[in-house]
Amino acid sequence: MTYDIAIDGKSYRLDLNRAEGGWSCRVDGREVAVDAVLARPDVLSLRIGNQAYEVKCERVAGEMHLWVGSARFAAEVRDPRSLRGRVRAVDDHGPRKLTAPMPGKIVRVLVSQGAAVEAGTGVLVVEAMKMQNEIKSPKKGAIQKILVSEGAAVNAGDVLAIVE
Amino acid sequence: MFKKILIANRGEIAVRVIRACHEMGIAAVAVYSDVDRAALHVRKADEAYPIGAPAASESYLNIQKILDVAARSGADAIHPGYGFLSENAKFARACADAGIKFIGPTAAAMDAMGSKTRARQAMERAGVPFVPGTSRGLESFEQAEQVATRIGYPVMLKAAAGGGGKGMRLVHVPEDLKSALEGARSEAERSFGDSEVYIEKAIMNPRHIEMQVLADGHGNTVYLGERECSLQRRHQKVVEEAPSPIVDPDMRKRMGEVAVRVAQAAGYTNAGTVEFLVDPQKNFYFLEMNTRLQVEHPVTELITGLDLVHLQIRIAAGEKLPFTQDEVVIRGHAIECRIYAEDPDNNYFPSPGKITLLLLPSGPGIRRDSGMYEGWTVPMDYDPLLAKLIGYGTDREQAISRLTRALNEYFVGGIKTNISLFRRILSDPDFRAGRMDTGFLDRLLKQKEAEAPADPKAIEVAVIAAGIFATLGSAAAGAGERPVASVSANNKPHAASNWKIAARKEATK
């Protein structure tokens, strides 16, 4: 199996296959001796040569993060065969979604539908754990839609408004 | 002794008190709001009663509901923990009226300490040093001007009913005094329904050091040493330690004796804390008294060998303090880290959610007081304190190295926590040298963390691990979500059959 693996945005080619009860592994074409034991779900004990590592996997809101010691890496795994047609990098053109950064309650909607906003204009206020977090517009434009009302409960990742 | 105690709280402190009850052979009654049915304190209790909606005013702050549960369960005492109703004199009075023992000071002692101006008046009479200024509310701008000129700028305006930084204004120059006074008054009126504001000299970058006291109902009051609590942000403590790196036995004795005088002046019983501001010349000034068990009480427990919750319960049951001041011995050093559900990459905003993976530290010198468990969803309705990690050692250096080691073992997955912040603090040269004040943490956070280039070996490990996790699919996933969408070719989550999952499990053996 060949993967393209992006660690904090930088891509690496990984060839990983099972071999005689273990793994055969090449990182960017270089052979690496790997011995892996799944210690428990989301925790991998790895030996690379004789160096021992414990790797923790965190899966939240569709994203995967790996912890090696106290270093945290954003990891994205792609099958290179399906690379075509992948999403473009987000740019400033076109509508942008404002999403809830955490579960909480909408305590205030600061602008109305159709209002013109600058980048950084506060659009909504979400409250969780006695703290209020202002959700700001990521770009200059107009509020195309407000999808929540004051008092609504939201989950992390919910789309709250759209700026175009 | 009591047979059954109701704990009017939640989270780690409710668990802490339940443990003390069980150690003393006392049954523990939990109360919980609608979002806390699965909380750890409910799991640990002997009896548990629902008390309503998540909003604290509907549940943990609702005096009538809590007293109803006390009556229904037959509890003979209530432990309020910290926060919520713990410093509410009305609640203490309502308990007394209902014939239930409130584990804490009397309502009268709480009243005496509840208003900052009233507390200052009491301290004035008791001859306790406090920050120079007025001990009554300001009557006019002219009076404020006169006092400010006399004590010297910068000055601080403070709401008598204040707390949490509300109704507070720092004034550097006379021209700003008038608008600051108006601002403090209207904020105090809005926040506390009381516009009384007083003035005191501003002590710039002080240390915040507090003294633990214990008083029984037989006239005995002792102090148990100080805690250094200078590491704060948004007026919230983050790291506490005991003893303070700057307090020597002589200063401890002087502070302790003042703290005892403060407690006695208020007719105080049970556990309490006298807070002091300490200036760079080590002059200390009375700030306020907290009439409850503090979050950071474990550091005092570790260096004195005493159990403060056991003692609180014994005192409330009418027992005498089982030791004298001379028998209090301080040994070793303890440091506490408050683990909050906060996102370090998003200005430390709260980060509630499901804990998908929890790996716990243990070993020599480590104590963990926690209210969380793997698979539990941290509700968004309350304070984000998840747990406290406390390191103990024969000296400060060993306490720091044990705590650092334990922080590296600690892993909370699925939600963001401030664990990384403690690694930064504990390795900071000023912290290591014991040089700190209440501005320390804000200054530390303003410095961009030195972006150490990622270790190429760690990146290689991450690449390999990512591939193995992807190959193993859902068989390797814990309490979190199904394997992430981007893992599979068609951008849909893996739909691995049970056969495949079993085969993958085999493959990793």
Picking from A3, A61, A68, the nearest residue to B470 by CB comes out as A3
List the domains of chain A with CATH numbers.
2-81 (3.30.700.30), 96-163 (2.40.50.100)
Candidate from B352, B423, B488 with C-beta closest to A102: B352
For residue range B57-82, list pLDDT tens digits in order.
999 999 999 999 999 999 999 999 99
**What average pLDDT does chain B have?**
91
pLDDT at B222 exceeding the cut of 60: yes
With left for phi above 0 and alpha for psi between -120 and 50, is residue B129 left, alpha or beta? Answer: beta
**β-pairing verdict for B4-7 and B77-79:** parallel
- CB under 8 Å to A48, separation ≥6 — which residues? A32, A33, A34, B457, B460, B461, B464
More confident residue, B321 or A125: B321
pLDDT category of residue B481 using cuts at 50, 70 and 90: low
Q: Is the pLDDT of residue A146 over 70?
A: yes
Query: What interface predicted TM-score (ipTM) does this complex get?
Result: 0.78
pLDDT at B499 over 70: no
In A, which residues are within 8 Å of B382 by CB distance?
129-130
Mean pLDDT of chain A: 86
Residues of chain B with CATH 3.40.50.20: 4-103
Query: Does a cis peptide bond (omega within 30 degrees of 0) precede residue B243?
Result: yes
Least confident of B380-394, B457-471, B475-489: B475-489
Task: Find, among A54, A74, A140, the residue nearest to B463 by Cα.
Answer: A74
Going by the DSSP 8-state scheme, the letter that residue B133 receives in this structure is: B
**Is the pLDDT assigned to residue B22 strictly greater than 90?**
yes
Q: What is the DSSP letter of B452?
A: P
Q: Which of A48, A56, A78 sits opposite B411 (nearest CB)?
A: A56
What six digits make up the tokens of B303? 């260096």
pLDDT digit string, tens, across residues B93-123: 999 999 999 999 999 999 998 888 888 888 8
Alpha helices in B267-332 (DSSP H): 297-304, 308-316
Q: What is the pLDDT of residues B226-246, one digit of tens each?
A: 999 999 988 789 999 999 999
pLDDT at A61 over 70: yes
The most confident of the ranges B230-239, B311-320, B441-450 is B311-320
| pLDDT for residue B498 is more than 80 | no
Q: Chain A interface, mutation test: which of B419, B449, B460, B482, most A Cβ atoms within 10 Å?
A: B460
Residue A67 CA to residue A56 CA, distance in Å, equals 5
Inter-chain CB proximity A3 and B479 less than 8 Å: no
Catalytic site includes residue B292? yes
Kindly give, in sequence order, each residue whose CB lies less than 8 Å from that of residue B65, ignoring residues fewer than 6 positions away: B31, B51, B52, B59
Contacts A–B by Cβ distance under 8 A: 193
Q: How confident is the model at residue B25 (pLDDT cuts 50, 70, 90)?
A: very high
Distance from CA of A144 to the nearest CA of B (A): 26
Spatial contact of B237 and B342, defined as CB atoms under 8 Å apart: no
Q: Which of B105, B97, B50 is nearest to B80 (CA)?
A: B105
Q: How far is it, in rounded angstroms, from Cα B453 to Cα B249? A: 45
Q: Which CATH number fits domain B132-201: 3.90.1580.10, 3.40.1050.10, 3.40.50.10310, 3.30.1490.20?
A: 3.30.1490.20
Q: What is the pLDDT of residues B181-201, one digit of tens each?
A: 999 999 888 888 888 999 999
Report the gap between the CA of B132 and the closest CA in chain A (Å).
33
B/e letters for B218-227, b = 16+ CB within 10 Å, e = fewer, are: eebbbbbbbb
Q: What is residue B496's predicted lDDT score, i.e. its pLDDT?
A: 40
Catalytic residue among B16, B185, B292, B314: B292
Residue ranges matching CATH 3.30.1490.20 in chain B = 132-201
pLDDT number for residue A104: 85
DSSP assignments along B226-238, one per residue: EEEEEEEETTEEE
Q: How far is CA B119 from the centre of its chain?
A: 22
Strand partners, A12: A5
B4-103 maps to CATH 3.40.50.20: yes
Which residue of chain A has the CA closest to B377? A103
Element (H, E) at B92: helix B89-97
Quickly list DSSP for A30-81. EEEEEEEEEEETTEEEEEETTEEEEEEEEEETTEEEEEETTEEEEEEEE-GG
